[in-house]
């Protein structure tokens, strides 16, 4: 048993910061979270080389097209930034704190959180990752919450970076504005918890296979999928023969977090068996005590009523206020606008 465990550990990247939870207050309570739609569909490149090709996927009536910028498609390693942001938001929700689409990132905290080094090269890699995330565009009919979206969106809408002035140009912090689509998925609590060893998986495909297993097997005892369908879901550009070899390697060394992997040569299928390592899911506090929808056109008027304030934070405050006062608005858009105007009148600019 010890020999098997040692073999699994050799397949994983060393845990560079084994005590990091003791030192990073912002991250210590955050459970790794990922949006389910990110797990289900291959938005990210599995290649470490720039990928500038346009991709289109279709499956069971769903389709989406991913268009990269000239700097390449966002990679599965770039996704670490989104996992960090989502984890921070979910941690705040559990504590009952207000959240917004804008997330401030301490660069060093992020590097430690994602089990990376903290050299100058690692900081520069963050800047490049933000460029790819911001440049990657998606057009899709994927269902999020109770709506079907058939338009274009990005993974993040904007980012800003603060550097230390001088020769070293050290990165101090970044701020990311999540796209409406990503934030809507978080609001609908379409998130799943990831194992911390996710960041120790050496190969991009291993991360992707784990995501698929986490999405489909979840906390079931087992889940089976055909190799060709797994290849399609993974978004891997590897030939079928090479992909089969990689899955066999994964099954042989059995180092995937949360799941044992078995490959059935006779039927060309992959079986994931739950290791029993996952904790029962804890539901986060509801972000919207009053769950009625707002017309999306109202947000522009709300921004005008409360200049410089994050409108989604104000929406959260408004919904909590409705719950506290047991109010169900008959005209929610007018009610929300009045709330924003009153908020700004009392507090001015942030």
> For the whole model, what pTM was predicted?
0.68
DSSP letter (8 states) at residue 287? S
> Are 187 and 302 contained in the same domain?
no
What local confidence, expressed as pLDDT, does residue 347 receive? 75
> Are 193 and 58 contained in the same domain?
yes
**What's the structural domain count of the chain?**
2
Residues in the chain: 350
> Rounded CA gap, 74 and 204, in Å?
12
What local confidence, expressed as pLDDT, does residue 33 receive? 64
What local confidence, expressed as pLDDT, does residue 29 receive? 33
> Rounded CA gap, 139 and 302, in Å?
27
Pairing of strands 143-144, 147-148: antiparallel
Domain limits for position 51: 2-200
- Choose the final residue of a domain: 200, 219, 248: 200
Residue 337 falls within a domain, yes or no? yes
> Rounded CA gap, 287 and 160, in Å?
26
Residue 36 falls within a domain, yes or no? yes
Q: Which two tokens stand for residue 285?
A: 């506090």
What local confidence, expressed as pLDDT, does residue 117 receive? 81
> Are 186 and 315 contained in the same domain?
no
Residues 6+ apart with CB under 8 A from 217: 223, 259, 272, 274
What local confidence, expressed as pLDDT, does residue 249 receive? 94
- Choose the final residue of a domain: 164, 181, 200: 200
Residue 288 falls within a domain, yes or no? no
> Are 182 and 74 contained in the same domain?
yes
What local confidence, expressed as pLDDT, does residue 93 receive? 77
> Rounded CA gap, 109 and 285, in Å?
25
Residue 175 falls within a domain, yes or no? yes
335: exposed, middle or buried (Cβ count in 10 Å: 0-12, 13-18, 19+)? middle
- Choose the final residue of a domain: 200, 229, 247: 200
Residue 274 falls within a domain, yes or no? no
Question: Is residue 87 within 8 Å of 30, Cβ to Cβ?
Answer: yes
* Among 282, 277, 231, 285, CA closest to 255: 277
> Are 143 and 12 contained in the same domain?
yes
> Rounded CA gap, 39 and 216, in Å?
9
Residue 305 falls within a domain, yes or no? yes
What local confidence, expressed as pLDDT, does residue 278 receive? 74
Residue 208 falls within a domain, yes or no? no
Residue 192 falls within a domain, yes or no? yes
* Among 226, 261, 267, 228, CA closest to 247: 261
> Are 334 and 191 contained in the same domain?
no
Question: Is residue 38 within 8 Å of 112, Cβ to Cβ?
Answer: no
Question: Is residue 140 within 8 Å of 81, Cβ to Cβ?
Answer: no
pLDDT in tens, the chain (350 residues): 555 555 566 677 666 545 433 222 233 233 456 666 665 667 789 988 888 999 887 766 677 788 999 999 999 999 998 888 888 888 777 777 888 899 888 888 888 888 888 777 888 888 899 999 999 998 877 666 676 767 688 888 988 887 665 545 566 788 899 988 788 878 777 777 888 888 889 899 999 999 899 888 888 899 999 999 899 888 888 999 999 999 999 999 999 999 999 999 998 999 999 998 876 544 444 444 567 888 888 888 988 998 888 787 788 778 877 776 667 788 889 989 988 888 888 777 76
What local confidence, expressed as pLDDT, does residue 143 receive? 63
């Amino acid at each position: 048993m010890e020999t098997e465990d040692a073999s699994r550990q050799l397949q994983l990247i060393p845990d560079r910061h084994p005590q990091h939870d003791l030192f990073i207050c912002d991250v210590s309570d955050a459970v790794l979270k990922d949006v389910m739609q990110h797990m289900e569909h291959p938005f990210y490149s599995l290649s470490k080389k720039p990928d500038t090709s346009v991709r289109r996927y279709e499956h069971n009536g769903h389709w989406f097209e991913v268009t990269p910028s000239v700097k390449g498609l966002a990679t599965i390693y770039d996704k670490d930034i989104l996992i960090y942001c989502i984890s921070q938001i979910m941690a705040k929700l559990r504590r009952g704190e207000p959240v917004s689409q804008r997330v401030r990132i301490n660069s060093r905290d992020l590097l430690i959180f994602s089990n990376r080094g903290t050299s100058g090269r690692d900081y520069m890699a963050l800047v490049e990752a933000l460029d790819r995330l911001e440049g990657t565009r998606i057009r899709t009919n994927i269902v999020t919450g109770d709506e079907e979206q058939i338009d274009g969106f990005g993974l993040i809408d904007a980012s800003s970076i603060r550097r230390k002035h001088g020769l070293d140009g050290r990165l101090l912090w970044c701020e990311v504005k999540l796209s409406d689509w990503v934030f809507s998925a978080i609001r609908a609590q379409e998130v799943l918890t990831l194992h911390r060893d996710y960041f120790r998986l050496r190969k991009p495909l291993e991360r992707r296979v784990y995501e698929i297993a986490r999405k489909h097997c979840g906390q079931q005892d087992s889940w089976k999928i055909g190799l060709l369908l797994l290849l399609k879901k993974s978004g891997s550009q590897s030939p079928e023969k090479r992909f089969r070899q990689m899955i066999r390697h994964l099954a042989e060394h059995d180092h995937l977090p949360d799941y044992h992997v078995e490959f059935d040569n006779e039927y060309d299928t992959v079986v994931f068996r739950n290791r029993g390592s996952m904790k029962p899911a804890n539901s986060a506090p509801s972000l919207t005590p009053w769950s009625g929808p707002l017309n999306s056109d109202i947000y522009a008027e709300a921004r005008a009523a409360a200049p410089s304030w994050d409108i989604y934070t104000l929406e959260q405050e408004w919904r909590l206020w409705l719950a506290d006062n047991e109010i169900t608005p008959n005209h929610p858009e007018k009610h929300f606008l009045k709330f924003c105007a009153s908020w700004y009148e009392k507090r001015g600019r942030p």
